[in-house]
Homo-oligomer: A and B are copies of this chain.
Amino acid sequence: MQDKDDATRPDFLLPREFGTALPTGVVKNAVEKLGRRIANDEYPEGEPIPTEPELAESLGVSKTAVRDAIKVLSGKGMVRTARRYGTRVRPISEWHLLDADVVSWHDATHPRMAQMFIESTELRCIIEPAAAELAAERATPEQVEAILDATSALRPDAVDSSLLYEADCRFHCTILDATGNQMMRQLRPMIMSVLRISYEFGVQTDRGEPVSRKGHLLVAKAIQKKDGTVAKLEMEKMLEANRRTARAYWENKTKFT
């Protein structure tokens, strides 16, 4: 079976048969615990974290599991390990910030989360309008339909916001897919991470009404009409509004580093 975490990873993104590439058992648990600790500065940058035997005991797993977990974190650029050097937290500039886990391991109140939120939105303002334009030219009929479906699912009469989140993800991810550019698709997990967080904090909803629901519709219709120029323009407007809202929200909420 799939692990419970996949609740946050809708089916349309992860066909069951492909499974997950990451550890699923005790190692997964260890990865998350250590990842969260590191992301939230519990271990100072540049300093050694506890040794393998110490972590093994404190996490209640074997040395092997700790090693495996640390290897995953290495793969995300968060730590460096070497003989005698120990395992040390690398500078944040080396972290793989396009990795969904690295983003989502941060506490919502962490200053870096605000920064990542703003930066990811800036990146989206660049990528997604262009993606919408390409999608208008290249989307398959099924993709167009999926985008329209997602738009209509953004109705405010949805009971809980998780449905809005799911629809929003489907909207943006399908557009990225529809570019036909496999590299662009790689940004989907990160975008979903950020979206999830913004929904949790209510940034994306305004008294239950999804922010810029009309914007989504305009983009979708432009893609349907294969009008790349309008799709790009409307996506730009939508994200720009998003950006202002988010920026104001987060700037009030937290201070910068």
Residues of chain A having any CB pair with chain B under 8 Å: 18-22, 24, 68, 71-72, 74-80, 82, 90-94, 96-98, 115-116, 119-120, 122-123, 126-127, 130, 134, 181-186, 190
Q: Shortest beta-carbon distance, A130 to chain B, in Å?
A: 4
Contacting residues, chain B, for A74 (C-beta < 8 A): 21-22
User: In chain B, what residue has the closest Cβ to A22?
Assistant: B74
A126 & B126 in contact (Cβ 8 Å cutoff): yes
B183 & A22 in contact (Cβ 8 Å cutoff): no
A130 & B119 in contact (Cβ 8 Å cutoff): no
Contacting residues, chain B, for A75 (C-beta < 8 A): 21-22, 71-72, 75-76
A96 contacts which of B68, B130, B181, B186 (Cβ < 8 Å)? Answer: B186
Contacting residues, chain B, for A92 (C-beta < 8 A): 182
A68 contacts which of B71, B82, B98, B116 (Cβ < 8 Å)? Answer: B71
Cα separation A91 to B72 with both chains bound (whole Å)? 21
A18 contacts which of B68, B90, B120, B127 (Cβ < 8 Å)? Answer: B90
Cα separation A254 to B126 with both chains bound (whole Å)? 31
B184 & A123 in contact (Cβ 8 Å cutoff): yes
A183 contacts which of B123, B130, B183 (Cβ < 8 Å)? Answer: B123
Cα separation A91 to B15 with both chains bound (whole Å)? 11
B186 & A97 in contact (Cβ 8 Å cutoff): yes
Cα separation A24 to B71 with both chains bound (whole Å)? 12
User: In chain B, what residue has the closest Cβ to A24?
Assistant: B82
Cα separation A74 to B119 with both chains bound (whole Å)? 28
Contacting residues, chain B, for A185 (C-beta < 8 A): 93
A79 & B21 in contact (Cβ 8 Å cutoff): yes
B183 & A98 in contact (Cβ 8 Å cutoff): yes
A122 & B90 in contact (Cβ 8 Å cutoff): no
Cα separation A100 to B80 with both chains bound (whole Å)? 18
User: In chain B, what residue has the closest Cβ to A112?
Assistant: B182
Q: Which 3 A-B pairs have the closest CB atoms?
A: A75-B75, A126-B130, A21-B74
Q: Shortest beta-carbon distance, A181 to chain B, in Å?
A: 5
